[in-house]
Structure 1
Amino acid sequence: MGGGSELPATGGASKRELLLCVLPWPEESFKKIWEDIAKEFPQYDLHYYETKADRGKIQLPEEVYKDVVILATLNWVPQSASLVPSLELVQFYSAGLNHLPDKSIYKDSEIPLATASGVHGPQIAEWVVMMNLVHSHDYTRFYDAQKRKEWLGFGGLNMRDQVGQRVGILGYGSIGRQVARVAKAMGSDVLAYTASPRHTPESRRDDGFIVPGTGDPDGSIPSKWYSGLDKESLHDFLKQELDLLVICVPLTKDTTHLLSSDEFAVLEKSNPLGTYVVNIARGAIIDQPVLVKALETKQIRGAALDVTDPEPLPQNDPLWTAPNVLITPHVSGSTTVYVERAFQILHENLRRRRDGKKFVNLVDRKRGY
């Protein structure tokens, strides 16, 4: 346990509020921002438990459960909401909460839940662009030749640059907005898709956490905006002759296997040159056996996947050997400043609690994100 006294103070007017962090990173990795929080908010007892990301069942002293007011965590939560009667906010350090709906703190309470949405935009957008360019420039073929010490000679006439290409972003949140910003800078046309309509300038604004100088804060980049929760609306978006389709939606009951046989058929019919599909969200959003078939039959031009279903991807899964697929092990969101940015969201929400303002990145339990 680190930061503050061994246990929170009890009783009397001087009682301080317990801010508990349960995270898999060493405390030294965020020492500066931890000290900044302690300086600005001396009313909190700051307690830190370092745990591994896969250890979801740690046990804390009863006093901690009883007195915790703010919880910052990657994926650990108390087994029951009744254990934390004073809890006023859970600040998650992940963007997706698809692991949470069956947990008591989600279904049995109204405790505000906030995500780390916004910290991933820059690095994931770079991953998307990197993978798209690796494919479009046929880089893997040249790299393989380099390892063989073979000079392939003149080539590249089949390469198409990004100017004028149409990029469809399925889920226009913080990640999608930064992808849009970079794609626009490269000369591409951007189309956005969201679950709910965004007909007014105000509705297109991004009210979540934004890394300064990134994203699309006012929602002005897309040349056209599509929306809806039904298949007809989704297909209307997919039939827009997309050169690149970037999947950024959260995984919910409604988005599980959102892309399956019908959707790949629409993509194929819409773009004879083939759509390149990129998934940085969750593997189960795509019907994976159908994706393998779409790659084998050239319904799509290729795919770049940072997520699969399941994870880790079994060695005998046919996705590994499908043609024109690039796979990484759920690392596109990694960056040396991830923890620092996530703590910035916690810091902002502490300020909002103090000032009586609405928390940033709040989860809508009905929508699942």
Structure 2
Amino acid sequence: MGDSNPAKGLLLAVLPWPEEEVRDSLKQIEKEFPELEPQYFFEKHAEKESERGKFEVPDDLTARAVVLATLSWLPKTPEQAPNLKLIQCFSAGTNHLAAHPIYQTTNIPLTTVSGIHGPQIAEWVIMMDLIHSHKYLDFYEAQQRCEWSQARGMKIRDKVGKTVGVLGYGSIGRQVARLAHALSSTVIAYTASPRDTPESRRDNGFIVPGTGDADGSIPKKWFSGLEKEKLHEFLSEGMDLLVISVPLTKATTHLLSTPEFQTLHASNPHGTYIANISRGKILDQDALISALENNLIAGAALDVTDPEPLPKEHPLWRTKGVAITPHVSGLTDVYAQRGMMVLAENLRRWREGRELVNEVDRRRGY
């Protein structure tokens, strides 16, 4: 994009969207930040995470890069990018980059686009929950058989007065809460650290206009803590829907296993429906399958699995009560444009020496 100008700092973008999808956004950035020269590379999306980030960028451009916008690609070593001052990752999590030398051995600020996923993921969660509670799949299958049966609708459960537990009350969880609240459900929230004051409950990250719960006023109850006892207090609230939206770290790996499913069942024998839009490893999948087979939970909507892609022979495909989508809940036709909005905001803050939006704490892993 544009003629190369060595006097300018290079904004290197290596992203899996055709350049025409972000051309207008890049032009706006170039206009607002004339000291930066955007160079865009289209890295075709790979289905397997292990195959991502293999794109080759010319060494001279890597060496000149001051700002990097990326989803998976990083220079092979810090030495290849001696001028790099800011990395804007176009995902909510950075666990896929955590083993990279740039992540592990440098202090280059690394930010995410957390905040842009709330609308589409919240819609996916509510959609899957409604499909389950309104028995849509039963009716769809009946339609294929040209079968009219009103009796199937007698067990439909609406959302008024139901309890929605949001495990991880970030931008995604807040938009889920907004939609659940609109359906007259009661929302309860769980966070790793306490949110005891109104100020601590505010969302200070990027918010898509008109969405979320900026002041944290929707949840009827808040729970917090890293101990299992605290988690089980939250899971004992008799929730009808449990939404998993915590980042994947060592502490959250297999955060939910048999004891947690048993706790859910004890508090709601009717069955909790689980929606996981975070990472597959947060659920102990063997324990999940067992919980479903033994009716400890009502069902599970999984947009993420362990591993990804899920092998055809994996038993999860054939487990009753499971609905699987291929890690698509966060996708939308305006994803790249919203990501550019976060990049532009961070460029403003970086230029002015202010705190960045969504800067990753490498020690915590998010």
Structure 2 length-normalised TM: 0.96
Q: Distance in 1 between matches of 2:25 and 2:2?
A: 15
Q: Distance in 2 between matches of 1:170 and 1:82?
A: 40
Q: Is 2:70 aligned against 1:73?
A: yes
Tell me which residue corresponds to 2:40.
Answer: 48
Q: Distance in 2 between matches of 1:233 and 1:326?
A: 29
Aligned residue for 1:157, secondary structure, equals helix
Deviation at 1:318, TM superposition (A): 1.1
Aligned residue for 2:150, secondary structure, equals coil
Q: Distance in 2 between matches of 1:268 and 1:297?
A: 10
**1:280-319 superposed matches below 5 A:** 280-319=277-316
Give runs of ≥4 in structure 1 deviating > 6 Å.
none
Deviation at 1:59, TM superposition (A): 2.9
Tell me which residue corresponds to 1:265.
Answer: 262
Q: Distance in 2 between matches of 1:59 and 1:148?
A: 52
One-letter identity of the residue aligned with 1:81: P
One-letter identity of the residue aligned with 1:269: A
Aligned residue for 2:256, secondary structure, equals coil
Tell me which residue corresponds to 1:4.
Answer: 2
Deviations 1:98-142 (A, max 9, x none): 112211111100110000101110011001000000000111000
Q: Distance in 2 between matches of 1:63 and 1:75?
A: 20
Contact 1:117 1:174 in 2 (8 A): yes
> What 5-or-longer segments of structure 1 have no aligned partner?
10-14
One-letter identity of the residue aligned with 2:136: Y
One-letter identity of the residue aligned with 1:169: V
Q: Is 2:317 aligned against 1:320?
A: yes
Tell me which residue corresponds to 2:350.
Answer: 353
Contact 1:116 1:361 in 2 (8 A): yes
- Selected match of 2:208 from 201, 208, 211: 211
Deviation at 1:17, TM superposition (A): 0.9
Deviations 1:68-121 (A, max 9, x none): 110000111111122222111100101111112211111100110000101110
One-letter identity of the residue aligned with 2:224: S
Tell me which residue corresponds to 2:86.
Answer: 89
Per mean C-alpha deviation after superposition, the further-off stretch among 347-356 and 134-143 is 347-356
Q: Is 2:178 aligned against 1:181?
A: yes
Contact 1:164 1:187 in 2 (8 A): yes
Aligned residue for 1:132, secondary structure, equals helix
One-letter identity of the residue aligned with 1:43: E
Aligned residue for 1:277, secondary structure, equals strand
Aligned residue for 2:113, secondary structure, equals coil
Contact 1:53 1:74 in 2 (8 A): no
Deviations 1:265-322 (A, max 9, x none): 1111111111111101111100001101111110001111111111111111111111
Contact 1:169 1:247 in 2 (8 A): yes
One-letter identity of the residue aligned with 1:198: R
Tell me which residue corresponds to 2:49.
Answer: none
Q: Distance in 2 between matches of 1:276 and 1:332?
A: 17
Aligned residue for 1:358, secondary structure, equals coil
One-letter identity of the residue aligned with 1:65: T
Q: Is 2:23 aligned against 1:26?
A: no
Deviations 1:298-348 (A, max 9, x none): 000111111111111111111111111111111111111111100100011
Aligned residue for 1:235, secondary structure, equals helix
Q: Distance in 2 between matches of 1:112 and 1:320?
A: 39
Tell me which residue corresponds to 2:28.
Answer: 36
Q: Distance in 2 between matches of 1:291 and 1:315?
A: 18
Q: Distance in 2 between matches of 1:59 and 1:159?
A: 53
One-letter identity of the residue aligned with 2:216: G
Tell me which residue corresponds to 1:274.
Answer: 271
- Selected match of 1:196 from 193, 196, 205: 193
Size of the aligned set, in residue pairs, is 361
Q: Is 2:324 aligned against 1:332?
A: no
Q: Distance in 1 between matches of 2:350 and 2:139?
A: 54
Aligned residue for 1:272, secondary structure, equals coil
Structure 1 vs Structure 2 CA RMSD? 1.1
Contact 1:53 1:75 in 2 (8 A): no
One-letter identity of the residue aligned with 2:16: P
One-letter identity of the residue aligned with 1:41: F
Deviation at 1:155, TM superposition (A): 3.5
One-letter identity of the residue aligned with 1:93: F
One-letter identity of the residue aligned with 2:24: K
Question: What is the aligned-residue identity percentage?
Answer: 59
Aligned residue for 2:332, secondary structure, equals coil
Structure 1 length-normalised TM: 0.96
Tell me which residue corresponds to 1:244.
Answer: 241
Q: Is 2:159 aligned against 1:167?
A: no
One-letter identity of the residue aligned with 1:249: V
One-letter identity of the residue aligned with 1:361: N
One-letter identity of the residue aligned with 1:80: T
Aligned residue for 1:252, secondary structure, equals coil
